[in-house]
Amino acid sequence: MAQLRAFDAVAQTLHFGRAADRLGIAQPTISKEIRRLERAIGVPLFNRSAGGTTLTAAGERLRKPAAAVLEQVRSFEAAASLVKREAQGAVTIAASPSIVNALLPETLRAADDRQLGVHIQALEVETGEVLDAVEHGRADLGIGHLIGDANRAVKRRLGRDELRVLVHRSVAPAVRGRFDLAQLTNVPFLLWPRERSPEYYDFLMDICRQRGLDEPLILTGTSRISGSWRYFLEDGRAFSLVPEDFARKEVGEGVAAYQLEPPAFLPLEVAWNKNASADVMRVLEIIVDLTHDRRGYGPAVT
C-alpha cells in the first residue's frame, strides 16, 4: 500500500519532493517505493529528466486504478475508525490552531457541564486539514475557518470571527485602535503556504488588496503563526492576520493585535460525518450553541 500511495502522490504532483512533503516522508523513501513498484510491475512508471517528471504511458494507464484502490482503502479505514469510536463512546473533534486556543476548550467545558457522558478527544490539525480529517475518518467533527468544499461530509456555517492584525507596536501605529494595512507595504506577511488552504489564503490576500496592500510580501515556510516562527512578529520582521480568539493568546513581547480598518470577518465552519451518531450530534449542538450566543459570531446558517 505504501507503494501505491507513493505512486499516487507523484502522479498528482509530478514532483518527488512535493509528493514526499504531501505524504510526510523523506524524498529518498518515496523514490525507493516507486522503484520497488516499478520492479514489481516490470515497467517504468515515470520519465525522469532534468526538465522534470512525467508519467510514462504505463503510468498514465495505472494512475486512475491506483487512485480508485486508495479511495476504497480510505473509505474502509474511515468506517473502521468510526466503528471503533462508537464502540468506545468517543467523539473526536478536529480543530485548526486558531480553534484550539479558545472554542475547543469551551466545547470540552460545556460538554462536561452538561454531563453528556461522552468521551471527547481533541485532534489538533494544521490549517487546511480540518475537512480532510472528517472525510477520511480521523475525526467525527471538524471546526475551522474556510475549511473547504465537503464531498463526503456535511458542512455548516457557524458564523464569523473578526480578523486582527498581529504586529509589533514599533512597526506601525494604530489610529484609535484600528489599523491601516497600507502601512505595511514593506513588511512581510507571515503566512502558511497557499497549498495548505487555497480558499483561506486567497481570502486573506483579498483582504489585503481591499485595504490598499496590493502586493504583500509573503513570508511562508511555516504551517502556523505561533511557535518557533513567532520571533518574526516579536522582532518586528513580519505581520500576520489571525482570528480574534487566536490574537488574544498571541499578544505580548511587544506584539499587539489591532482591528482592521474597515473591519474584516472570517467565516467559521463545522463539518461532520453524514452517518454521525447521536453522541456526535449532541456535541455538535453544543458547538452551535456556543458560537450562536458568543460575541463576535453571527447567527448560525445552514
List the chain domain ranges: 2-76, 83-159+267-293, 161-265
- Which amino acid, residue 24? G
Q: Residue 167: what are its φ and ψ, rounded to 5°?
A: -160, 150
pTM for the model? 0.67
In which band, very low, low, confident or very high, does the pLDDT at 81 lie, cut at 50, 70 and 90?
Answer: low
Domain made up of 83-159+267-293: CATH architecture:
3-Layer(aba) Sandwich (3.40)
* Domain 83-159+267-293 matches domain 161-265 at the CATH topology level: yes
Nearest CA among 200, 197, 198, 212 for reference residue 260: 212
Give the pLDDT confidence of 181-222 residue by residue, as tens digits.
988 988 999 988 888 889 999 999 999 999 999 888 888 755
In words, the CATH class of domain 2-76 is mainly alpha
For the four alpha carbons of 135, 138, 142 and 148, in that order, the dihedral sign comes to negative
The class of domain 161-265 in CATH terms is alpha beta
Grid cell digits, residue 10: 507523484
Asked which of 8-12, 107-111, 161-165, 200-204 is least confident by mean pLDDT, the reply is 107-111
pLDDT digits (tens, 9 = 90+) for 58-75: 999 999 999 888 888 877
